[in-house]
Structure 1
Amino acid sequence: MPKAVPPDLDDESGRGRSLARCYPRGLRIDPHVHEWAQVLYAVTGVMWVEVGREALIVPPQRAVWLPPGTEHSIYMMSEVEMRNLYLRGQDVQHLSKQGDVFEINGLLRELITTIAEHESERDDEYLNAAYHLAALELTHAPRYSLRIPLPDKSDRRLEVLCRAVISNPSVDISFEHHAASVGASVRTLARLFTRELGLGFAEWRRQVQLAIALSKLAEGQTVSSVARSLGYLPSSFSDMFRRELGTAPSEFRPDETLAAPEDLTITPTDR
């Protein structure tokens, strides 16, 4: 049973709550739920957020909308400066009832960061207005499609193959090689991909590649090195990236390279 949320959210007074925290690369937050809705946003870094049978890839230009009661887990693909808003269910009934990723415009970014970083300095009237405006902005924020369908546990072969690709998504490793490694035919696995994930292997792996690329770019790696680590020539990689995400990969690189601490795991008892 997933654990539920920070105890401070039990207080129903006020329009919302916020959180500002830094997490190291490799840290995992186990599956959990919140009774309040959540806007999960990182001003720097990339998050891998699993919601149901989907992984949502969240670079700094995007944020995750999680309705009340949505089970989710988080993996920090790079060092992450997180800024979250928690909104009462009664104040967000006009928003989607499903988890989603949306684009962050200038106003929404300033609202989230100002609330999360300076909440203790603002009076209730200001905060109520800021939370209300943030909820209105969410209504109009464009949705973002980069997400990875995940297999259930009904076929161990598909699950093992998918996790192997996530660990090493290079195009240098063929579908035939992956199929042989899990003891299944290419035809069988192709059928499983289509039936269980709704995508062919190549398209699904491309989504994983984009996720890994975003995390590497956010850490400051060059476009060329990221491309080659995934088995692409730099020009081919840039073309694929632009086609899928509508922008150049260089747009996702920070000014300074982020540190990469050792892998950590935590339980969701204090977020």
Structure 2
Amino acid sequence: MPLNGQNGQPRAIPALDQLPRPLYARAEQLRAGSWTPAHRHGWVQFSYAISGVLGVHTEQGSYFAPPQWGVWIPAGLDHTVTTSMQAEMRSLYVADAAAPWALARCRVLEVTPLARELIKQFCTFPAAYPEGDSAEARLVNVLLDQLAALPEVAFSLPMPQHPRVLAMCEALIEQPAAQASLSEWAARLGRSEKTLMRQFQRETGLGFRSWRQRMRLLSSLGALERGASVTEAALECGYESTSAYIAAFKGLFGHTPGELFQAPAAQAVHAFAAVP
């Protein structure tokens, strides 16, 4: 799967000049191949994947949310949102003043069971929910506290800014199973392996092997999402050993492929069955 996930027609971005309340929710069913043009909001956006895999892409890198995770997008940041397969998403829009603790960078966060239930309940509120000392406003405050405490996970792929190194990374993303080494890439780019290694580390914050492993694992999410076997997903993203793929996958995501795409997704769909 291309990590940017773009194919088909772009989906429209709903017009919203301002938030009716400090916290606002949107529920969306996204078609396979859905994507938005680059855009920005005047507020923080937290996009939570109930089913499917969300991809959020910025100039700094790409961020992926399988079921039970979400992407935190700072206010004013240009981004696109993609899904390779059908997905169900909940988006929370948060006024800057309501989240003074928020970091000014994209992050992928694990949605805890308590936060999931609070989001579920909040999605039943009217857009202009009662404020002051109302039950709704108290729940919103608890939900904001929970959002502030969500653990961050490493489901992101930082991208370099240097044009030649960026072109190398884009070529690797297009063919995740390609086996060319860093020394081979250095020869293609006309520089020494040590120079390219240092520049890659400086630009992405990761070593070449770590970056490529993360890219491969993230690229395999699309195959798993469409129902491919673990072996097929492993081969498609460049692993010759299924056991090595499963071990690396669990090391990054904290779950095996089967755990991530079966039990969590089923529980999430069940938990949100009553949400309009």
Residue 113 of structure 2 corresponds to which residue in structure 1? 106
Matched-pair identity in % = 28
Match of 2:125 among 107, 116, 119: 119
Q: CA RMSD in A?
A: 2.6
Which string of whole-angstrom CA distances, capped at 9 and with x for unpartnered residues, describes residues 64-103 of structure 1?
1223223322221332211101111111113333322211
CA distance in 2, matches of 1:94, 1:196: 27
Structure 1 residue ranges (4+ consecutive) displaced by more than 6 angstroms after TM superposition: none
Q: Tell me the CA shift for residue 230 of structure 1.
A: 1.9
Classify the secondary structure of the residue corresponding to 1:236. helix
Q: Tell me the CA shift for residue 173 of structure 1.
A: 4.3
Match of 1:77 among 84, 96, 100: 84
Residue 268 of structure 1 corresponds to which residue in structure 2? none
Alignment of 1:230 onto 2:237: yes
Number of aligned positions between the proteins: 247
Q: Tell me the CA shift for residue 134 of structure 1.
A: 1.5
Kept after mapping to 1: 8 A contact 2:220/2:236: no
Classify the secondary structure of the residue corresponding to 2:125. helix
Kept after mapping to 1: 8 A contact 2:25/2:127: no
Residue 134 of structure 1 corresponds to which residue in structure 2? 143
Q: Tell me the CA shift for residue 158 of structure 1.
A: 1.6
Alignment of 1:66 onto 2:73: yes
Where in structure 2 are the equivalents of 1:92-241 lying within 5 Å?
Answer: 92-116=99-123, 118-120=124-126, 124=130, 125-152=134-161, 154-155=162-163, 157-170=164-177, 172-175=179-182, 178=185, 183-185=189-191, 187=193, 188-232=195-239, 233-241=241-249
Q: Tell me the CA shift for residue 25 of structure 1.
A: 2.7
Q: Tell me the CA shift for residue 218 of structure 1.
A: 2.5
Which string of whole-angstrom CA distances, capped at 9 and with x for unpartnered residues, describes residues 167-196 of structure 1?
12115444455556x554562543431232
Higher relative contact order (CA 8 A, sep 6+): 1
Q: Answer with 204-213 or 194-203: which moved more.
A: 194-203
Which string of whole-angstrom CA distances, capped at 9 and with x for unpartnered residues, describes residues 222-257 of structure 1?
2111112123211111111122333212112247x9
CA distance in 2, matches of 1:95, 1:46: 23
Please report the TM-score for the alignment, with normalisation by the length of structure 2: 0.78
Alignment of 1:23 onto 2:26: no
Alignment of 1:248 onto 2:227: no
Structure 2: runs of 5 or more not aligned: 1-12, 266-276
Please report the TM-score for the alignment, with normalisation by the length of structure 1: 0.80
Q: Answer with 31-40 or 72-81: which moved more.
A: 72-81
Match of 2:53 among 34, 37, 46: 46
Classify the secondary structure of the residue corresponding to 2:108. strand
Residue 266 of structure 1 corresponds to which residue in structure 2? none
